[in-house]
Amino acid sequence: MLSKQRELIRAEARARSMLLMACIAGVLFLAAWSTIHHGFYSKQPRVDTPIYQHYADLVRAGDVPYRDFSIEYPPGALFAFVFPALKNSPTPGPNHVRADYRRNFELLMSLCALASIALAAVALRRLRASNGQAAAALSLLGLAPLLLGPVMLSRFDLWPVMLALSGLVAILVGRERVGFGALGLATATKIFPGVLLPVGCIWVWKHSGRRELAICLGAFFAVLAACFAPFLIIAPHGIWHSISVQLSRPLQVESLGAASLVALHHLFGLSISTVSGSGSENLAASGAGPIATLQTVIQAVALLATWIWFARGEATGERLVRAGAASVVAFVAFGKVLSPQFMIWLIPFVLLVRGRRSIVSSGLLVASLVLTQLWFPYRYREYAFHYASWPSAFVLLRDVALVALFVTLLTGMRRRKPELPAGQPAVNQSGI
């Protein structure tokens, strides 16, 4: 009885400590979020907010997405575009409306980030992370805007990240059906959360069996269908266009393959050029097409290897978050498209990883974020169109760091056994 009371007291103390650390991380985030509005951070030559506002204005005018105008994002993204426009001032004038929309959009994104911090705290408590590990992870999560820079202000990726993280955390704490539903909504917002579905399936299969897995998959596809079905009925061509545009994208200038070709350009004079299209700048060079195909194959192999690794081992919470983080990292690191906002996807998932591995993985994550900020958005054109030396080096180093991060997440990091003095017999650890 006394031991149970002590355990209850310890659990309450851990809960209070985690709540305090989450609140401090939230304050750090708000301070970092405010900081990137000022000084050199405020110089943002490449923002997507006007595009989102344009979509919102069309919807408010009565146009139907996918039928009356093209949109490259899945239906779940519409909430992040339209909601900030609902409270726009009726006062005429595009500048005034643009300011209102930007403020409301940034408010929505900051709320998504704060929710992600709270979800990370729940996951870390469930994983029984030490106070030091939890404090480090939550602090880095709070400081993420400073590490990555102003790209976080004008991209809607914090919305699908929060949804995807809520799905993974719900699965971790035993709310698998809710988690699969959240993953369905996240996948209907942006495609990358779909790589977490096999991880969730393996977890449910091992813990609850086929029947529960079927129910969870039903929840996932029901939410996915609810988001897509209305638009598939009224504008199937528009939905197919938004999907086909993403699948057929060429080798984007920031991907690992493109950065490698730029390095060959600097070292051996390889002829390269930049072609704009599909919503990005893409590299045109000898071998760019096959390299894009090869990256897609490597991406698929890396994802499959991650899922097999998780399926072949014990389904523990620690391995669940590792497999989830490795899946997202594989999707980003080996894809033929690697936009700066993709870095936002990695942050909460990688920071949930525990143990000695977390020191290396967190270090590689921080390095990749800082390396991204060193050239984007301030020196983007220097790299994308002129292949300037320093930005080219930063892009390549960032991409290599992401590959190293993926390897770190899946490989073992066991301590070496101490060597025994000559002639000393080994001790049987089993006690037999």
- Report pLDDT digits (tens) over 15-51: 888 999 999 999 999 999 999 998 888 776 678 899 9
- pLDDT reading at 424 higher than 70: no
> What is the average per-residue pLDDT within 276-289?
88
Q: At what angle do helices 317-333 and 342-351 cross, to 10 degrees?
A: 160
Query: CA neighbours within 13 Å on the CB side: how many for 293?
Result: 3
Contacts of 398 (CB under 8 A, 6+ apart): 367, 368, 371, 372
Which parts of 239-354 are beta strand (E)?
A: 272-277, 280-285
Which amino acid, 372? T
Which amino acid, 140? L
Q: Using CA atoms, how far apart are residues 351 and 359, in angstroms rounded to an integer?
A: 10
Q: Is 417 strand, coil or helix?
A: coil
Peptide bond into 377 cis (omega under 30): yes
Q: What is the CA radius of gyration of the chain?
A: 23
> What is the average per-residue pLDDT within 103-121?
96
Q: Using CA atoms, how far apart are residues 387 and 382, in angstroms rounded to an integer?
A: 6
- pLDDT reading at 417 higher than 60: no
Q: pLDDT by residue (tens digit) across 214-245?
A: 999 999 999 999 999 999 999 999 999 888 88
Residues in the chain: 432
pLDDT of the residue at 191: 94
* Band of residue 1 on the pLDDT scale cut at 50, 70, 90: low
* Band of residue 427 on the pLDDT scale cut at 50, 70, 90: very low
- pLDDT reading at 88 higher than 70: no
CA distances from 9 to 106, 121, 126, 273 (A): 40, 19, 16, 64
Global pTM value: 0.91
Q: pLDDT by residue (tens digit) across 41-50?
A: 877 667 889 9
Q: Using CA atoms, how far apart are residues 381 and 139, in angstroms rounded to an integer?
A: 32
* Band of residue 2 on the pLDDT scale cut at 50, 70, 90: low
CA distances from 368 to 64, 262, 364 (A): 39, 18, 6
pLDDT of the residue at 271: 95
pLDDT of the residue at 44: 65
Phi, psi of 285 (to 5 degrees): -165, 165
Average predicted confidence (pLDDT) for the chain: 90
Q: Using CA atoms, how far apart are residues 146 and 153, in angstroms rounded to an integer?
A: 11
Higher-confidence residue: 414 or 307?
307
Separation of first and last alpha carbons in the chain: 33
Q: Where are the domains of the chain?
A: 249-411
3-state secondary structure 34-82: HHCCCHHHHCCCCCCHHHHHHHHHHHHCCCCECCCECCCCCHHHHHHHH
Q: Using CA atoms, how far apart are residues 285 and 273, in angstroms rounded to an integer?
A: 7
Query: Assign residue 355 a region: left if phi > 0, alpha if psi is -120 to 50, beta otherwise?
Result: left
Question: Which residue in 328, 348, 314 sits closest to 122, CA to CA?
Answer: 348
* Band of residue 254 on the pLDDT scale cut at 50, 70, 90: very high
